[in-house]
Amino acid sequence: MSDLHETLHPDSKTFKRSATEKVVEKTDTQLWKVFEDEMKMSSPDFIIEEVKKLNPDVKIESDPDRGLLFSSVDIEKLVLPEWFYFNQKNWITNKHNTQSGIYGSVRVYPIEYYDPDLI
């Protein structure tokens, strides 16, 4: 049986996956891993927890459900996770730093605005 027949008829008993198919499968798996990682890194919960870890001496409160972070220091003084930056439009974000285009952002306000009764 020819290689062409095996390629065109995968139900054949002698069908073997081509090297190209194996590469595509591996690439798809790698892309899915990137997608999963970026989904996790783009969640407000992840961003807020990372900012808290990187700024242990700063008083930080949060409302992850609404993507809000309240800080006792100015946003420009916060240490941000790798790949994240601050801008006026997207606040703390990783926009333009992801492979998939999926990004997250968290709005930051002074700690004086934090009201636990509203959360």
What's the one-letter identity of residue 89? K
The whole-model pTM stands at 0.65
Per-residue pLDDT tens for 7-44?
A: 445 555 544 555 545 444 556 676 666 667 666 777 88
Query: Helix, strand, coil: what percent of the chain each, to 5?
Result: 45, 15, 40
Instruction: Specify the DSSP element, H or E, that contains 24.
Output: helix 19-41
Longest dimension (CA), the chain: 76
C-alpha to C-alpha distance for 115 and 50, rounded to whole angstroms: 22
pLDDT per residue as tens digits for the range 54-97: 999 999 999 988 999 999 999 889 999 888 898 887 688 878 76
